[in-house]
Structure formats: structure tokens, C-alpha cells
Amino acid sequence: MGNEQSVPEDISESESPARWKEGSTPPRPPRSPIKRAASSRPLGTIIQPHSSRVSKRTSKKRKGDKKNGRELMLDEKQIDVPETSIEPVLEPEQEPEQIKMSIMKPVDGKLPLTDECLHYDDVLEVPSNLQKYFHQRYSIFNFYDHDIRLTNDAWFGVTPEPLASRLASDLPSHLYSTPRRTTIVDLFGGAGGNTIAFALSGKWDHVISIERDASTLACAQHNAEVYGVAEYITFIHGDCLDFLDRLKNHPETLDPSLREKCSIDDTVLFASPPWGGVDYKEQEVFDLSTMEPYNLEVLHQACSPMEHVLYLPRTSDLRQIAKLAPEGEQIEVVQYCMEGASKAMVALIPAAASQTT
């Protein structure tokens, strides 16, 4: 996921960074420099949707004499009731603590590409509202010609590859800190732009990518294969806020393989949410409370107290961001630019003190 401004708008087709001539064979993507994590293990089955359900309890037939009463048959339940009443005595509803959550699991294998997972070869095939992004396709994915797949919605949200690579390089992985940060979770994985960059950086033992749209996730898995890093990424088909709630409050509802790779103390969260809301390009200072469907407060509360990185509009209100700093801590804010123009603001929110000791 991400935002519509994350790609430069002034790159023309002729200025494409493609390094091969038309008609020649494009170079193959490089092999990943990542070493397989020691704790690598096969993924589990596809995520089961989070649901709350109450099991039905079947009343047993009551036996006994029928003096001063009569039998009432209701759906094969035999209930003795007084002559003066025809209301059956039903058992109480299930208590809230008895409601069980399903287990959230990583994707098992590879989701199939759907009709929404498209690769355009010619601008004439592209919808008019996407044509400027198609002209910048080699900035979005340098290996676009190797059958990179995107849904039409995903074009708007992919972080351009140069930005994603620089961001992945800049983020500290804290491998020598106490406690170590060994896992990064891309909460809005989208078609894989940031996720692939994190995997290629080789800085993390585990890279986890969450995406709730099946077609977009299928694109991300396919694109990760193009870049040679699919086996180093754990994909989850689900909602990121649901995942965070489980991680913090119900870890027993996460598959053991996820609990092994991800804990509150050793994980950094990365969020490149849909910006939505009013058009940020028309605001001199963007009000982060208007982001949809998740505004700044919702995102911050969902990610806290863990360390998290927010990829935000370039004109975001710094006063709103400053309020997120834990007591006694400072927030680092970086403007990321392409072609001399700022494209996004990235805020690094430190973990709460209780999580760093």
C-alpha cells in the first residue's frame, strides 16, 4: 500500500532508467545477498479469517415424572413445563470468555495469480489514469520487464524502488543492541515494493509482509520471486491491525512459526498506509488526522509500544508527529527525495522505555 505521490511525476518515457536497448534481452535480476536465517522453517497453512463465534449447546432431554405438568417437544428437545406456562427453559448464552479466536497463519505456498494481477507491455493497454505511472515503471520496479505484476490499485501505492532501497538501507536493524531487533514487519505489504527492499538489504533475520487483498498479495509473492527473495519473506493474508492486536494481547492465536519470528521486543514495524482523505497535494500542511482508513492516532496506538516507522505524505504536520514521541525520547524525521523533489516523509518512532530495558 502506500500513496499516490510516492512516484515522481516528472519522469517521461524517454527518461526511463532502463539500461537496455529496445529489442535486446534485459538483464536478469541479481540474486539476493541474504543468508538463510538459521530458524527458517516451512510456512504453515493460509491464514484463517479472524472470527468470533459462539458454539451452540444442545439441551439434553429431561426425564422425570409429569405430575402437575406436561411434556413440550421443541426441535427434539424434551422439556417439562408447568401447566400454567408454555415457555421452555433454555440454557444461558455462552460467556464472552468462551469465545475463541481462530489461529492466524502465514500463507502456505504461493497464492495463484488472478485476472487482476496484470503486466502491461504497451501504454495503449493501460487505463488512462495509470498511464503516467506506466511511463515511470522502471523507477517503480527496475526489473519491470521480467513480468512484474500489479493490480490497477497497486500502481498508486508502490514505493519507487530507489526510495524503497534507500529507506531499507537507512533503517537501523539494531542487531547489536539490547534487545536485538531481528524482525521487520511490513504492515501494508501491497505489491511488495518495500518488502522486497527489506529482504534484499540482508539486515533482518525475518521479513514479514501483511496484505489483506488476495490478488495484491499474489502479485507481491510473484514479484519477490522475480527479485529472488521470495523464500526469505513470510507472507500473511490478513488485516495488519488484527495481527498487531493478536501479537500484543493474544499471542496464543498466532501460529507458532509467527510467534517464533515475531515478538514485541525484537520487532520493528513499518507502515506505509493508504493516505486517502482529502487531497494532500492541495494542502500546504497535511492534517494527518484526515488519513483514511487509518489516521495517525489509530496507526500509532496500534503499533505502540513497539518501535515503528511511518511512511507519510511529504507535507505532514510535524507538530502532530512530535506528539508521538515517548517521554524523554526524540523522533527522527527524514524527507526522501527523487529527482530533487521530496516524495515522502518518514518518521522513526522509538519503542516505549518499558520495551527497551
- Mapped onto helix, strand or coil, the DSSP state of residue 340 is coil
Q: Is the pTM of this model over 0.75?
A: no
pLDDT of 143-197, one tens digit each? 999 999 999 999 999 999 999 999 999 987 766 666 678 999 999 999 999 999 9
Which pLDDT value is given to residue 101? Answer: 81
* Long-range contacts of 36-42, Cβ-Cβ distance < 8 Å, separation of 24 or more: 36/231, 36/232, 37/205, 37/206, 37/232, 38/205, 39/205, 39/206, 39/260, 39/261, 41/257, 41/260
Which pLDDT value is given to residue 28? Answer: 65
Q: Peptide bond preceding 160: is omega within 30 degrees of 0, i.e. cis?
A: no
- Please check the confidence at residue 130 and state whether its pLDDT lies above 80: yes
Ranges of each domain in the chain: 158-356
Q: CATH for 158-356?
A: 3.40.50.150
